[in-house]
Structure formats: C-alpha cells, structure tokens
Amino acid sequence: MPLVLFKKNIRYIIFKSNKEGRIFIMNKRILIYLMLIFTCLGAVHNFTVNGQESITVAAGDSINIYFEFEEEGATATVNIEPAAGGFDLPEIPIPELTVTDGIFPDAIGADGIFEYSLRNFVSLPEIVSLVITLEDNGVSDEVEIGFEQLESDFSVSGRVDRESAIDMPVFPALIYTFYNSVPEDIISVLDEPNIDGLLEYFSSDHFIVSDVNGFWGDYQLFVPDDIENVPCVTGVLSSYTGSEEYVQPGLSFNEINGHEEDVNFYYAFPDAIFSGQIVNGNGETVSQAAVTLSKSDDLTETIFDIADSLGNFSFAVMNGDYWLNVAAPGYSIYQQELTVDGEDINLEIQLEDLVGIEDNAVVADNGYLKIYPNPFNLSINSRSSEVSILFDLPVAGNSNLEVFNVKGQKVHEKTVKALKNEKNIVKWDVLNESYNAVSNGVYFIKLRSGKVTKTGKMLILK
C-alpha cells in the first residue's frame, strides 16, 4: 500500500505495464490524498472506531469514526504513525493534518461532534498498525487500527533487488497492489485527485493490498480470490524509492487467476541525472509545475515530477532521446527535445505567461468539454473506434476542434457547428489527418469558438 513507506524526497512513482511496456505516473501528492482518508478522522474526546479504541479490520469492512470536539466549530490536529512492533521500517514522514467541526469529512454539521463512515479498502502487513493521535485545545486521544490478513488462493510473487557489483536484495520493501484495477482506471481516478473521487472509486470491489518482503528480497502478496483473471497493478516502496542513486522500478500490470510468479522489481543504476529549475519571464521560480519526460520512440514511456517550492525538479534517467514537457497553471506549455548520453543535464526553463498567447484567447469559466471514454482503449472499446467529445459553449456558431499530441503537433482538426448553451457532441475516429490510426499516448483536445476556448486531455491505449 503506498501509504506507509515513502520518504520525504519522493516526488514520483512510475506505473509500468509488463505486457504493453507502458509507464504511467502517480506523484507524491496522491499518496497524501490516500492518507487523508485515514487521517481526516479528527478530534479528541471519546475517539473511537466502530465504538472501540483498538480495532482490527479487514478489507471491505465498514468503519465508523466518532469523537467529540472540545467545543462546537473547533479544529483538531491529526497525527498518524505506523507502528511495526520493532520492525525496521524506512523513514515515514507523514504531515500533520487538521480537521474542523462541520467541514468535510464531518457528516453531521458543526455541532461539536465528528462522525463519518467509510469502507475500508486497505490491507496492511500483519506487523503494521496505524496509531492515530488527535489533539484539540491541549487534550489528546488516540486509537490503533490493525489489519486482518487475507486467506486466498490468489497471489503475486517475485523479488526486489538493486544493482551493485553483485546484485543485492532490497529489504525491507513494501509490496502493494491496486486490486481489481487497470492502469487506465488509476490514471482516470488520480488525474485530478480529491478525497471524494478516491472514496467513490474504492467504494466498490477495489482494494489496496500490501505486505513486506523477506530478508532475501523475495515476497508473496496474497489478494482476494473472488474474481477470476482479476487485473492488478503492483509496485514496491523502499528506502531507495525516490533516490537519485537508482532508476525507479516500474509497476507491473498482471491478470491474476491463481499464483502469478516472477513479478520482480529492480533498482538500476542511472546513466545520468536530469534536473533543472523552472522560472517565469521575471526570473521568479514557478512551484508545482508538472514536468514530464517521455521517450521519443515511445511516448507512452513517461516519467513525471512535480517541481518543489523553489521550482526545482530532478530525474534519474537512462540514456536515450526524450521529449520534455512542462506545464503550470497560468503559463503556456514548454516543450523541448532532449538527448541523454551519459552526462548529467541541468536546465533553467522559462515559462511564458498565457496572456498574449493565441490573440489573448479567453478560457470560458462556464460551459464544459468532456471526453468519453477516457482513457480510450481500443481493445476494450472494440465495438466503437470513436471518441465522443461532449461540450457546451456560451456562444453559438462554427467552432474549431483541434487534437494535439504531447509534442504539440496537430493530428486532427475539424469544424463543428455548436448551439449556444446546449449539449453538443462531436465524434473523433482516433485517426490523424492522413487517416492513419494515432499512436498510444496523451492527447490534448482544444475547442475554440471566437475568443472562447475549452480544452481537455485524454489517453489512448491499444
């Protein structure tokens, strides 16, 4: 489970499909969103989970959180610490959080009482429990949550190793899997992460299951056996995760119908470090910019980072040709070709303000643009090879629809007639202007009518 083992310097985790060679990304903020679900339990007197101060739960169990604030409208601080019974876990810096009476996730308003129910979608190793400490106006209380272990005929197993003169096992390492999930699902849920969206996704038969590997690096992670050929996305966290000393191992996508073996993870030495700082036209640093580095010969193989508060980012990379893409709210997208040949690279990247770009086009605050299905997987959507683009604009008339790849190249364009404040729909057959099928990857949809522009992003898989 990616809630427990992550170090302070981790900013990205790589998703990789063994079958299709795709790499997808989930940044550190997603881990914090998931942790929020367990830590936004708030406060201080009579703090219980299912009426108890210490409880063991199984994946799928209902959890009811209850406590009483010191006074109505109060705010409590929340601290969470994994306890492992003396087991040497890597550093686990978990931020202190706050919860306020009457504000989500409190379900019963500002009355001095917090109460919230959710479905437990997590299974942690047997040796790990979560100790949640709450403090309100100098008064503290705590509960401890343990996790029942699965008994199942399904599992995924393999090894975790790191490169050295003689390859060495990595221990301890936390192996986790998104059960009954495919990469497209995870990307869709986590594209714009929020607690509501995560809770909705995990309210059905989706779980995060985890376990710790053995001293020699081997592991066997059991998953529920209720669904045959169940899709699972499996990954690893360790003290080497996020370190520039190693290129990070990807996540593995497998369909499990029994015991899936040889799902291995390997921390390899990088050929170089690619780093930089992002600034604006005034030389001021730009924080929280999304930095994407894609292999030029396969744009679906992508690593991702979020610039820190000083605009800095860094990747451990292998040699090869890449396409760099930098995006931040309020700025135009920066793109550049990049070749790594064994030498470290450090760049200063300057972003341009959106003002003045494209004839001062205005992005509408009302209306919408939605893309379905998204992600689009031709093998899944075999009955239809078309993408539906639904939109509503505050103006009527002819609109221009354009589709761009991550290099900024236009792959499709058409004129559509839009009705004002009505639901409009246009189809795209996922072909380029030469009537050839577009390749896998991320695409940007832009719909423009006069000075009103709506944009969207989609993922195409085959």
* Percent over 70 (pLDDT), the chain: 72
**Whole-angstrom distance, CA of residue 406 vs CA of residue 442:** 6
Q: Given a cut of 50, is residue 307 above it in pLDDT? A: yes
Answer whether the bond into residue 93 is a cis peptide, omega within 30°: no
- Amino acid at residue number 16: K
pTM, entire model: 0.61
Structure tokens at 95: 């931020």
Predicted local distance difference test score (pLDDT) of residue 54: 92
DSSP 331: B
Predicted local distance difference test score (pLDDT) of residue 179: 92
**Domain boundary assignment for the chain:** 1-265, 272-350, 362-461
Largest CA distance in the chain: 69
Predicted local distance difference test score (pLDDT) of residue 420: 62
| DSSP 3-state of 34 | helix
Q: What's the whole-number average pLDDT of the chain?
A: 76
Q: Are 452 and 400 in contact (CB under 8 A)?
A: no
In angstroms, the Cα distances linking 378 to 21, 79, 219, 334 are 16, 45, 34, 30
Structure tokens at 317: 């990379």
The answer to which of 38-42, 253-257, 453-457 has the lowest mean pLDDT is 38-42
In 318-405, DSSP assigns E strands to 320-327, 334-340, 345-350, 362-363, 368-372, 376-377, 387-392, 397-405
**Whole-angstrom distance, CA of residue 156 vs CA of residue 240:** 22
Predicted local distance difference test score (pLDDT) of residue 26: 43
Predicted local distance difference test score (pLDDT) of residue 292: 77
Q: Which of 99-108, 122-131, 300-309, 321-330 has the highest mean pLDDT?
A: 122-131
**67 DSSP β-pair partners:** 114
**Whole-angstrom distance, CA of residue 60 vs CA of residue 76:** 28
* Percent over 90 (pLDDT), the chain: 21
Comparing 272-350 with 362-461, is the CATH topology the same? Answer: yes
What is the residue whose two structure tokens read 């779980």?
207
The answer to which of 41-45, 236-240, 300-304, 415-419 has the lowest mean pLDDT is 41-45
Average pLDDT over every residue of 247-261: 86
Hey, what CATH topology would domain 362-461 get?
Answer: Immunoglobulin-like (2.60.40)
Predicted local distance difference test score (pLDDT) of residue 270: 94
Q: Are 287 and 307 in contact (CB under 8 A)?
A: yes
Q: Which of 177, 242, 230 is nearest to 27 (CA)?
A: 242
> If one looks up domain 272-350 in CATH, what number appears?
2.60.40.1120
**Whole-angstrom distance, CA of residue 199 vs CA of residue 201:** 5
Other C-beta atoms closer than 10 Å to the C-beta of 158 total 21
Predicted local distance difference test score (pLDDT) of residue 400: 83
Residue pLDDT, tens place only, 349-395:
998 876 433 333 333 445 567 777 766 765 544 444 678 787 776 66
HSE-up (13 A, CA, CB side) for residue 399:
28
